[in-house]
Amino acid sequence: MREIKFRVYDIGRERWVRSSFIMHTKTPLREEGYVFQQYQNCTDVHGMEIYEGDIVDWKKLGEGVEEGLELVDDEFHAMYRGTGLCEILGNKYDNPKLFRSVPI
Protein backbone atom coordinates (compact mmCIF):
# COMPACT_ATOMS: atom_id res chain seq x y z
CA MET A 1 0.00 0.00 0.00
CA ARG A 2 1.38 3.40 -0.99
CA GLU A 3 1.81 5.96 1.78
CA ILE A 4 0.35 9.34 0.78
CA LYS A 5 1.92 12.45 2.24
CA PHE A 6 3.09 15.84 1.08
CA ARG A 7 5.47 18.61 1.97
CA VAL A 8 4.52 22.22 1.24
CA TYR A 9 6.65 25.15 0.07
CA ASP A 10 5.44 28.74 0.63
CA ILE A 11 6.48 30.62 -2.52
CA GLY A 12 5.94 34.11 -1.08
CA ARG A 13 8.02 33.50 2.05
CA GLU A 14 10.48 31.20 0.26
CA ARG A 15 10.40 28.56 2.98
CA TRP A 16 8.90 25.20 3.85
CA VAL A 17 5.69 25.12 5.87
CA ARG A 18 5.78 22.96 9.00
CA SER A 19 3.52 19.95 8.71
CA SER A 20 1.97 20.67 12.12
CA PHE A 21 0.80 24.04 10.76
CA ILE A 22 -0.80 22.33 7.76
CA MET A 23 -2.65 19.83 9.91
CA HIS A 24 -3.87 22.28 12.56
CA THR A 25 -4.67 25.44 10.67
CA LYS A 26 -8.32 26.54 10.76
CA THR A 27 -7.99 28.12 7.33
CA PRO A 28 -7.28 25.56 4.61
CA LEU A 29 -4.22 26.25 2.50
CA ARG A 30 -5.12 27.23 -1.01
CA GLU A 31 -3.03 25.99 -3.90
CA GLU A 32 -2.17 29.53 -5.01
CA GLY A 33 1.09 30.64 -3.40
CA TYR A 34 2.05 27.14 -2.26
CA VAL A 35 3.72 24.19 -3.93
CA PHE A 36 2.61 20.74 -2.80
CA GLN A 37 5.17 18.00 -3.37
CA GLN A 38 4.14 14.36 -2.99
CA TYR A 39 6.24 11.69 -1.31
CA GLN A 40 7.38 9.13 -3.89
CA ASN A 41 7.24 6.18 -1.47
CA CYS A 42 10.97 5.50 -1.71
CA THR A 43 14.16 6.67 -0.02
CA ASP A 44 17.70 7.52 -1.07
CA VAL A 45 20.90 5.73 0.01
CA HIS A 46 20.77 7.56 3.38
CA GLY A 47 17.14 6.68 4.09
CA MET A 48 15.88 10.21 3.30
CA GLU A 49 12.36 10.34 1.85
CA ILE A 50 12.22 11.33 -1.82
CA TYR A 51 9.63 13.94 -2.85
CA GLU A 52 8.67 15.56 -6.15
CA GLY A 53 11.02 18.48 -6.79
CA ASP A 54 14.04 16.75 -5.25
CA ILE A 55 17.24 16.56 -7.26
CA VAL A 56 18.86 13.16 -7.06
CA ASP A 57 22.20 11.76 -8.23
CA TRP A 58 22.22 8.15 -9.39
CA LYS A 59 25.05 6.23 -7.68
CA LYS A 60 24.48 2.65 -8.77
CA LEU A 61 23.05 1.91 -12.16
CA GLY A 62 20.21 -0.48 -12.82
CA GLU A 63 18.49 -1.62 -15.99
CA GLY A 64 17.38 1.37 -18.04
CA VAL A 65 18.75 3.90 -15.52
CA GLU A 66 21.28 6.46 -16.70
CA GLU A 67 23.96 7.82 -14.39
CA GLY A 68 23.71 11.48 -13.40
CA LEU A 69 21.33 14.09 -12.02
CA GLU A 70 17.56 13.88 -12.26
CA LEU A 71 14.67 16.05 -11.11
CA VAL A 72 12.06 13.93 -9.34
CA ASP A 73 8.61 14.21 -10.91
CA ASP A 74 5.41 12.16 -10.93
CA GLU A 75 6.99 9.47 -13.15
CA PHE A 76 9.98 8.93 -10.87
CA HIS A 77 8.52 6.19 -8.66
CA ALA A 78 7.63 3.95 -11.59
CA MET A 79 11.11 4.35 -13.04
CA TYR A 80 12.93 3.94 -9.70
CA ARG A 81 11.66 0.41 -9.04
CA GLY A 82 14.43 -0.09 -6.49
CA THR A 83 16.89 -0.92 -9.28
CA GLY A 84 19.29 1.93 -8.57
CA LEU A 85 20.56 3.75 -5.57
CA CYS A 86 20.36 7.52 -5.63
CA GLU A 87 21.27 10.33 -3.27
CA ILE A 88 19.22 13.48 -2.71
CA LEU A 89 21.40 16.51 -3.42
CA GLY A 90 18.71 19.12 -2.76
CA ASN A 91 15.50 20.37 -4.31
CA LYS A 92 14.61 22.94 -6.92
CA TYR A 93 13.49 25.56 -4.39
CA ASP A 94 16.39 25.49 -1.93
CA ASN A 95 19.03 24.86 -4.62
CA PRO A 96 18.15 26.88 -7.76
CA LYS A 97 21.74 26.77 -9.12
CA LEU A 98 21.78 22.99 -8.86
CA PHE A 99 18.31 22.86 -10.46
CA ARG A 100 19.58 24.79 -13.49
CA SER A 101 22.30 22.14 -13.99
CA VAL A 102 19.84 19.23 -14.21
CA PRO A 103 19.40 18.01 -17.81
CA ILE A 104 15.81 18.12 -19.04
Q: What are phi and psi of 69, to 5 degrees?
A: -85, 150
User: pLDDT for 27-43, tens place per residue?
Assistant: 555 567 888 888 888 88
Q: How many domains in the chain?
A: 1
68 within 8 A of 101, measured Cβ to Cβ? no
**What is the Cα–Cα distance from 6 to 19, expressed in whole angstroms?**
9
Report which of 11, 87, 12 is spatially closest to residue 42, judged by C-alpha positions: 87
- Host domain of residue 48: 6-100
In a domain, 93, yes or no: yes
In a domain, 42, yes or no: yes
Check residue 86 and give its pLDDT: 80
pTM score:
0.73
In a domain, 1, yes or no: no
Check residue 96 and give its pLDDT: 85
pLDDT at 89 over 70: yes
